[in-house]
Amino acid sequence: MMRSEPFPQDEDAVLALARALRETGYKFTTVTPATHAHVNARPRNAEARSLRDVFGWSRPFRGDLLPEPLLTLMRQAGAVAEDGPLLRPTIRFSSLDGALFAHSSYPPSAADAVFFGPDTMRFAAAVIAHLEARTRPVRRAVDLGCGSGAAGICIAKRAPGAEVVLVDINQAALRAARVNARLAGTAGVDVRRSDMLRDVAGPFDLIVSNPPFMIDGAERAYRHGGGPLGAGLPLAVAEQAVERLAPGGSLVLFTGAAIVAGEDPFRGDVAELCSRAGLDWTYRECDPDAYGEELATPVYDAVERLALVVLTATRPTVQP
């Protein structure tokens, strides 16, 4: 297996690379790591033959494949490594909402990997749908555990003039989020380190989060949720968020739920939390069966399926 590389340190150089790549018309839809592995394992895909192969599929390539200015920008950004006689990209770029997003190269195996994939797209879609249905303006929003910053940037594009805060404890994610916010041209985006919401003050009109929800043996930051069947961090996010909602403010939480004997323990926990806090809420499965390969591991022995869910909880403008 290829080794994972940290997200590059030089944000200005990564931004220059991203802008040059965008000028080529590059687009790429990032798939799950499992699909990525299957596709790259095909013999014909052992070596890159296009920009998408390099910057999307993370395939090794010959130096003369890329235009010299683009390869120079890769080197300046620290986004390329030697791989025997070939070169290997150490960063990826994915398309979402008409923009490009920088994130970690494949495989995302490092503890501080900046993940981007189908769940990012589902999460962003849930946030956008909420914004389209919302009748109250968003003046202050936070993307909690922002990763690449995709959801928060989608908010900033649709709420001009709003203060949008992107927070994470992963320094690599903060670098990626800053690059991506600048690349998208979103004003009013503030990227900062915070353990949950502890290091940001005040109430929010909108809190969005896509916390890790797996039990991951390597405890990678983007994947390990801890607690019972991975629900520890999602529940902790919900508990902190509901305390920080302004009147009329909403939490949009996209996460996973382990279904045991036909029951969803996480749903029961958030139902109790929302009831106790006096919130209006909805909860839906957006995918009833995801990550089925995880069920082969002993920790999921009692789980019959892993569902992807969206919780939307709103504080009434007038409290009872």
Mean predicted confidence (pLDDT) in 254-260: 93
Tokens linked to 64:
């003369």
User: Helices (H), strands (E): how many in the chain?
Assistant: 9, 11
> CA separation (Å) from 221 to 20, 33, 169, 196, 217?
30, 16, 9, 13, 11
| Higher per-residue pLDDT: 143 or 83 | 143
> CA separation (Å) from 243 to 168, 187, 238, 270, 275?
19, 27, 9, 13, 13
Residue 1: predicted pLDDT: 44
Instruction: Name the phi and psi angles at 112, rounded to 5.
Output: -105, 25
| Higher per-residue pLDDT: 219 or 302 | 302
Q: What percent of the chain has pLDDT over 70?
A: 93
| Higher per-residue pLDDT: 1 or 125 | 125
User: What digits encode the pLDDT tens for the residues 160-198?
Assistant: 999 999 999 999 999 999 999 999 999 779 999 999 999
DSSP string computed for 154-179: HHHHHSTT-EEEEEES-HHHHHHHHH
User: What digits encode the pLDDT tens for the residues 205-244?
Assistant: 999 999 987 766 666 666 655 667 777 889 999 999 999 9
Tokens linked to 192:
């900062």
Residue 231: predicted pLDDT: 75
Task: Give the count of alpha carbons within 13 A of 250, CB side only.
Answer: 21
Q: How far apart are CA 88 and CA 49, in angstroms?
A: 13
| Higher per-residue pLDDT: 38 or 222 | 38
User: What digits encode the pLDDT tens for the residues 117-149?
Assistant: 999 999 999 999 999 999 999 999 999 999 999
At residue 249, does pLDDT exceed 70?
yes
Please compute Rg for the chain using Cα positions.
Answer: 20
At residue 267, does pLDDT exceed 60?
yes
At residue 320, does pLDDT exceed 70?
no
Q: How far apart are CA 17 and CA 90, in angstroms?
A: 12
Mean predicted confidence (pLDDT) in 20-28: 98
Closest to 216 in 3D by CA, of 287, 117, 110, 302: 110
Q: How far apart are CA 234 and CA 228, in angstroms?
A: 11
Q: What is the average pLDDT score of the chain? A: 92
At residue 285, does pLDDT exceed 60?
yes
The domains of the chain, with CATH numbers, are 11-104 (no CATH), 118-314 (3.40.50.150)
CB atoms within 10 A of CB 275: 10
For the chain, how far is it from start to end, CA to CA, in angstroms? 57
Closest to 20 in 3D by CA, of 72, 58, 96: 72
Is-contact 151 128, C-beta < 8 A?
no
